[in-house]
Structure 1
């Protein structure tokens, strides 16, 4: 079961990067983010409180996932779009467990709490092909 998902939240821990061998082909790369999707509502005194927020693992499967692990950081505000899927497994005691995770198509960085952005120049061979 899966359904379309779009939500804003904060990355709650350092990104987790993994590679999975794929025979003679390039390995599959996964970047997992732990994101708290919040629901800010006004409290009446000019502040906001969270009502009904939840944590969900966000999986980004992409060949550039290794590079992106340094881009995404704990505390960063992101907009996630993708599919929400149910993940089932057995815990160490043999009990059936389930959770929901997001298989992301896009993870955009929102300009909240960002102090600086550094852009790198294109490699010389890429500039020649333009």
Structure 2
């Protein structure tokens, strides 16, 4: 069972990166974030948190390796778009358990709490030199 999800939250721990073999193809890469999604409501010139929840956020993409170079930090505010996925499992006592995770399609860094941004040139393959056309 899954459903559409869009939420804002804070990263609660250091991001986790994993690569999984994929036969003769390049390995599949996954980034996992532990995020607390909150419900801030404006009140008296500030905000009041009216409940929230913690959820693991996973994104599977070739860009996960690229994102590993970005500075995802604990406390960073992000916007997550994806779907919730229910997982059923049994604990050590054989009791049924239920967990929800979020499979993200997009993760955006929100400017709250960002102090500086440093732009770097993306490394590219050498491009062939273009010669001027002959007239």
Q: TM-score normalized by structure 2?
A: 0.84
> Structure 1 residue 122: deviation in Å?
3.4
- What are structure 1's unaligned runs of at least 5 residues? none
* Structure 2 counterparts to residues 1-130 of structure 1, below 5 A: 1-44=1-44, 46-71=45-70, 72-123=72-123, 125=125
> Structure 1 residue 117: deviation in Å?
0.9
> Structure 1 residue 100: deviation in Å?
1.0
CA–CA distance in structure 1, aligned partners of residues 64 and 73 of structure 2: 13
**CA shift in 2, pair 1:88/1:120, >3 Å:** same
Q: How many residues align?
A: 129
> Structure 1 residue 50: deviation in Å?
1.2
**CA shift in 2, pair 1:20/1:125, >3 Å:** closer
Please report the RMSD computed on the Cα atoms of aligned residues, expressed in angstroms.
2.1
Question: Could you give the per-residue CA deviations for residues 23-66 of structure 1, whole angstroms, max 9, x where no partner exists?
Answer: 2221111100111110012444x332211211111111011212
**CA shift in 2, pair 1:69/1:91, >3 Å:** farther
Q: TM-score normalized by structure 1?
A: 0.87
Rg larger in structure: 2
State which drifts further: 15-24 or 28-37. Answer: 15-24
State which drifts further: 46-55 or 99-108. Answer: 46-55
